[in-house]
Structure 1
Amino acid sequence: MERRYFERKKGRVEIIPMIDIMLFLLVFFIMITLQMIPDKGLNLQLPASSQAKLLPHPHYTINIEKDGTVNVKGHHYALAALQKMLASDGNPGKTQITIAADKTVPFQDFVDVMDACQKAGVSDIGIAAKPH
């Protein structure tokens, strides 16, 4: 009887690690895709304009609700917190903002939000309106 010190075994393809890697790739793909979905904002009754134009997709859509609450991407902000958030956005001079205010919002609330944006250094501000 001959003894072998180094027996050769046939290689096996393990499927479980491959399934784990595919699940990780799927999770990363879903997370990245969710971040690419644009912020559509709230359902507001926008004022109408005969000269309304389609603007490019902004970095932030600032919604001003009927009660004067400022909402950005699902978070409520006071004006000082909004200004701080915009100022810490990297380069606020290149940040694009669209302000969407309900048509019943007092004009002073709209101006206060614009002032907070300008104090943060944002200069590219659009105003949302629906076309006639």
Structure 2
Amino acid sequence: MSRNHRSHYLGAEEKARIEIIPMIDIMMFLLVFFMLATLKMIQGAGIKLDLPQSSTAEALQQTIKVSIGVTKTDELYLDAKPITPDELTAHLKGLVGDSKKVDVAISGDEGTSYKNIIHVMDLVRAAGISSVALATNPST
């Protein structure tokens, strides 16, 4: 008897169903979000402009971003690839020789000595690069 009583409250006659309207709402929201995000990523897309002439116009200098890693054991990494100090200086001089602006970010292990970081900064400056930054993690 308790079975009949329990089935009455659970609605045994009703079958389970899947509600798809909330799923459709979420999909529409995602569609609109990604459409707006891609429009912001494409600068000036779809706009045809006739730019005026200038006698003093210069081409923008292309910027190259380089990341140098320094470990606690004095190992150097250029864009996540191991490199020696001599190879690093030669590579950076080659980048500067292409008349491009080079920005260097130096990432050091937390236990890396100050002397090692200064040595890498000297190597970068010896290559003729003055735009040097030290990478850190933001504090929370």
Larger Rg: 2
Q: 1:91 and 1:65 mapped to 2: Cα distance?
A: 30
CA contact (8 A) 1:58 1:98 kept: no
**Same amino acid, percent of matched pairs:** 20
Alignment of 1:11-90 (within 5 A): 59-89=65-95, 90=98
Aligned length: 75
Decide which structure has greater helix share. Answer: 2
Residue number among 122, 126, 129 corresponding to 2:133 in the alignment: 126
In the TM superposition, residue 58 of structure 1 has moved relative to its aligned partner by: 6.2
Q: Report the residue type matching 2:104 in the other structure.
A: I
CA contact (8 A) 1:87 1:120 kept: yes
Q: Report the residue type matching 1:114 in the other structure.
A: M
In the TM superposition, residue 76 of structure 1 has moved relative to its aligned partner by: 1.4
* 5+ long unaligned stretches in structure 1: 1-56
In the TM superposition, residue 73 of structure 1 has moved relative to its aligned partner by: 2.1
In the TM superposition, residue 126 of structure 1 has moved relative to its aligned partner by: 0.8
Q: Runs of at least 4 residues of structure 1 off by over 4 A? A: none
Residue number among 88, 91, 110 corresponding to 2:99 in the alignment: 91
TM-score normalised by length of structure 2: 0.50
In the TM superposition, residue 121 of structure 1 has moved relative to its aligned partner by: 0.5
CA contact (8 A) 1:68 1:109 kept: yes
**Correspondence 1:105 to 2:112:** yes
Q: 1:70 and 1:77 mapped to 2: Cα distance?
A: 6
Name the SS of the counterpart of 1:62 in structure 2.
strand
- Encode CA deviations 1:29-68: one digit per residue, 9 max, x unaligned: xxxxxxxxxxxxxxxxxxxxxxxxxxxx961110111211
